[in-house]
Amino acid sequence: MASTYKTGCIQNVANFETLISYITAFGTDYNPSKNSLTIPELQKKLSESKVSLSTVNVAFSAHSNASAARESAFEPLSKLVTRANNALKATDTTTQVDDSAKTLVRKIQGTRASTKFTEEEKKALEAEGKSATQISTSQMGFNDRLENFDKFITLLSSIPNYAPNEEDLKITSLSALRDDLRTKNTEVLPTEVQLSNASIARNDIQDRPLTGLVDIAFDAKVYIKSVFGATSPQYKQVSKLAFVKQKK
């Protein structure tokens, strides 16, 4: 969601506030007939824009905190399933069970089933008329990792000989961890929605045709040019202030 937190929006508001400061200093010479360009209306638009930035900041912080908590909770998972898999292999299990567990561990960790082809190996295979395409087995999305971790726990639960003495490797501990990971993963979703909605509202306030901050600022600059002239020092003060709409 980093792309929704754009510095361009912040700069627009800062430049709009600067524009209002220059306009206020013009005194009675600045007297537009268009209501949206009057100082009170400009101040109202500035206030509205600042509130929208603040709302995004709050939503961004909530999303960052929830995401960080999820990252922290998932961080030990790869090493933990390796240990659990080693504990499984230390019991009397079949090759099929070991292979199934190995596959799930690999998916949880996002590693390949085989070594990735080098460019030379790809060329050699293609020269022999063989396919050099490798399908990525990486499933490092949080939902994918959770699904595969659940399958791994289910597999371990079906094996009576899997009864490690280590507390964190026991089925009850693994299940508790899975539930905690699910909770932390779920808690991120509403913060993503809130941040997205706050960003949409902020962008609308700034980018809305005719009545948005950017178009109002442009109209104000055009009015200043008409009053003082394109080469006037007054227009030069505001002409350098840039206002940019966000890319869709």
Give me the mean pLDDT over the 207-233 stretch.
97
Give me the mean pLDDT over the 185-195 stretch.
96
pLDDT at 117 over 80: no
Helix, strand, coil content of the chain in percent (nearest 5): 75, 0, 25
If pLDDT is split at 50, 70 and 90, which confidence band does 127 have? low
How far is C-alpha 210 from the chain's CA centre?
A: 30
- Residue 236 has, within 13 A of its CA and on its CB side, a CA count of 3
pLDDT in tens, 54-110: 999 999 999 999 999 999 999 999 999 999 999 999 998 899 999 999 999 999 998
With tokens 């104000």, the residue in question is: 220
If pLDDT is split at 50, 70 and 90, which confidence band does 137 have? very low
Residues 6+ apart with CB under 8 A from 211: 36
Residue, of 2 and 6, whose pLDDT is higher: 6
Domain-wise residue ranges, the chain: 2-74+190-239, 77-188
Token reading at 111: 């590693």
What is the rounded CA–CA span in Å between residue 187 and residue 70? 9
Write down the pLDDT at residue 3: 45
pLDDT at 2 over 80: no
pLDDT at 208 over 70: yes
Task: Measure Cα distances from 180 to 16, 44, 148, 176 in Å.
Answer: 46, 45, 15, 6
pLDDT in tens, 156-173: 999 999 999 999 999 999
Q: In this structure, are residues 132 and 125 in contact, taking their beta carbons and an 8 Å threshold?
A: yes
Least confident of 30-44, 113-127, 134-148, 208-222: 113-127
Q: What is the DSSP string of 179-198?
A: HHHHHHHHHHHHHHHHHHHH
pTM of this prediction? 0.77
Write down the pLDDT at residue 247: 77
pLDDT at 213 over 90: yes
What is the rounded CA–CA span in Å between residue 122 and residue 114? 14
